[in-house]
């Protein structure tokens, strides 16, 4: 573990700067929406757990199964990551847990996770 910290406005950038310390595993992959004429049947959700330099959390990534790309339509699909830390190195604001939704700084990280996951639905 190195001494890098997650910065509240640069989570994706911080993790990608030391990607070798990032580990994750997929917990579930399922179709995002129930069958309905107005719903896109190609949108799926990937639920995962992760850890990086003493930080842990879980996340959800909405993606298009047909081309394995991030589906991040604001207000509709909410890719997110939750961060938990009991580290003494956390930011001075004292928040031990927080969540980010549709944060653009996470897009490269989410795309990396998608690319390294077998996207076969688990249910």
Cα 86 from Cα 55, distance rounded (Å):
8
Residue 101, classed as helix, strand or coil, is: strand
What does pTM read for this prediction?
0.79
Among 88, 80, 81, residue whose Cα is nearest residue 5:
88
Percent of the chain with pLDDT over 70: 72
- Please give the average per-residue pLDDT across 12-38, as a whole number: 86
Confidence category of residue 116, pLDDT binned at 50, 70, 90: very high
Position with higher pLDDT, 99 vs 115: 115
Residues 6+ apart with CB under 8 A from 45: 28, 29, 30, 31, 32, 60, 61, 62, 63
20-28, long-range: CB < 8 A, 24+ apart: 21/52, 21/53, 22/50, 22/51, 22/52, 23/50, 23/51, 23/52, 24/48, 24/49, 24/50, 24/51, 24/113, 25/49, 26/117, 26/118, 26/122, 27/58, 28/122, 28/123
Does the pLDDT at position 95 exceed 70?
A: no
Does the pLDDT at position 34 exceed 90?
A: no
């Amino acid at each position: 573990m190195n001494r890098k910290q997650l910065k509240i406005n640069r989570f994706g950038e911080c993790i990608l700067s030391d990607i070798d310390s990032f580990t994750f595993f997929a917990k579930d992959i399922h179709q995002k929406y129930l069958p309905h004429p107005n719903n896109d049947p190609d949108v799926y959700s990937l639920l995962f757990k992760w850890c990086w330099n003493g930080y842990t959390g879980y996340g959800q990534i909405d993606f298009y199964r047909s081309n394995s790309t991030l589906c991040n339509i604001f207000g509709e699909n909410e890719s997110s990551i939750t961060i938990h830390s009991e580290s003494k190195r956390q930011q001075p604001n004292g928040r031990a847990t927080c969540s980010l939704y549709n944060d653009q700084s996470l897009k490269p990280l989410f795309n990396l996770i998608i690319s390294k996951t077998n996207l076969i639905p688990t249910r």
